[in-house]
Amino acid sequence: MSRIFSGVQPTGNLHLGNYLGAIRNWVGLQENFECIFCIVDLHAITLPQDPEELRAHTREVTAVYIAAGIDPEKCIIFNQSMVPEHSELTWMLSCITPLGWLNRMTQFKAKAGKHRENAGLGLYAYPVLMAADILLYRATHVPVGDDQKQHLELARDIAGAFNQKYGVDYFPLPEPQILGAATRVMSLRDGSHKMSKSDDSDYSRLNMTDDADAIALKIRKARTDADPLPETPDGLANRAEAANLVEIYAALAETSVEEVCHKFAGKMFSEFKSELSDLAVARLGPIAREIGELKADPGYVDGILRSGTKRAGAIAKRHLHEIQDIVGLLRP
């Protein structure tokens, strides 16, 4: 059977890139797969977090999942730390993961920066925790963005190493799932940088919680050039900011960049931006409103996490027992 696992870290406001690149694509999966969507708070604490904010962001990501159309009846939605088996399996997998494999992880090098000696052990072990997330449910498919491909590759290697070491065929090797055309949403201020959590300029990214006025203002202020929209995508070469806005339009309208160029060829960006703004408000406005309503009802959100935890925990517990038996750990 196919089972999907994916996760998002509760580290700050989710932005349009998180939605178009990941969460929106998950909505279609829930009809055909058993889906487990996790808010990975244990990954978040590999870097310093304010406890109050961490709690708030965990609830907020849950609200975004639901507002974006992920159905908590069909899928399992829960936060990682509530199922302690994630941490337990991480330890067992750590014991069979060679340091050499972890030393190759480019994200660790980027996050640890220059002072690698000061980086936490958790940051280094991050990909093993991610492998445990996936393997604990014996997931077969993992929708991930480009930045997580190396970690997923490592999860496959760890699964293979476990199976080989113990002479079993226990863990399926999880497949990366590439969904639709990859939507890379870049900063509204600099089209060659990703829309990211660390952007300090408030106008550079659209947040999933932005109301209509904020969306309109940010799109109006988005940087462009003085040329009109081209007839074909070729005319967007070396025009990163312009290309980004056209791609965002195409993604929101669920059409191609070709179509968008065709539709707006010769128009100035001032006019295009007002169309883009209307579209973004129409698509994102209702989601932002529902996020707002869910935020006002933390009891409901917590209830979703609790029931997701029960369902995830039942699978996790059963699998962990099987793994303990394979490894040779006595159980109570």
Residues 6+ apart with CB under 8 A from 116: 109
C-alpha neighbours within 13 Å on the C-beta side of residue 43: 24
Instruction: Find the part of the chain contacting ligand TRP (CB under 6 A) among 141-149, 213-221, 277-285, 289-297.
Output: 141-149
Does residue 83 belong to the site contacting ligand TRP (CB under 6 A)?
A: no
111 is catalytic: yes
Helices 212-221 and 269-295: crossing angle in degrees, nearest 10, is: 150
Q: For residue 213, how many C-alpha atoms fall within 13 Å in the half-sphere facing its CB? A: 0
Residue in 130, 158, 208, 236 binding ligand TRP, rule: CB under 6 A: 130
* DSSP annotation string for 237-267: TT-HHHHHHHHHHHHHHTS-HHHHHHHHTT-
Distance CA 162, CA 223 (A): 50
User: Partners of 207 in the beta sheet?
Assistant: 15
Contact call for residues 25 and 101 (beta carbons, < 8 A): no
Our finding on whether 5 is near ligand TRP (CB under 6 A) is yes
Using DSSP's 3-state secondary structure scheme, residue 82 falls into helix
Q: Does 301 bind ligand TRP (CB under 6 A)?
A: no
Under the binding rule (CB under 6 A), the answer on residue 79 touching ligand TRP is no
Q: Which is nearer to ligand TRP, 40 or 281 (CB)?
A: 40
197 is catalytic: yes
When the beta carbons of 119 and 217 are compared against ligand TRP, the nearer one is 119
Which residue among the candidates 74, 114, 149, 194 is catalytic per the annotation?
Answer: 194
Residue 153 in tokens: 């590759």
66: left (phi over 0), alpha (psi -120 to 50) or beta: alpha
Nearer to ligand TRP, 127 or 230 (CB): 127
Q: Which candidate, 172, 74, 193, 83, places its Cα nearest to that of 129?
A: 83
Of the candidates 74, 111, 263, 295, the residue annotated as catalytic is 111
C-alpha–C-alpha distance, residues 48 and 64, integer Å: 23
Q: Is 204 in the site for ligand TRP (CB under 6 A)?
A: no
Q: How many residues of this chain bind ligand TRP (CB under 6 A)?
A: 12
133 sits near ligand TRP (criterion: CB under 6 A) = yes
Residue 194 catalytic?
Answer: yes
Contact with ligand TRP (CB under 6 A): which of 3, 43, 57, 273?
A: 43
| 210 binding ligand TRP? (CB under 6 A) | no
Phi, psi of 141 (to 5 degrees): -135, 140
CB of 245 to ligand TRP, least distance (A): 25
7 sits near ligand TRP (criterion: CB under 6 A) = yes
Marked catalytic residue, from 197, 221, 295, 317: 197
23 binds ligand TRP (CB under 6 A): no
| Cα gap 5→280, rounded to integer Å | 29
Contact between 148 and ligand TRP (CB under 6 A)?
Answer: yes
Q: Which of 16, 35, 40, 281 binds ligand TRP (CB under 6 A)?
A: 40
Residue numbers at the binding site for ligand TRP (CB under 6 A): 5-7, 9, 40, 43, 130, 133-134, 142, 144, 148
Which residues are identified as catalytic? 111, 194, 197
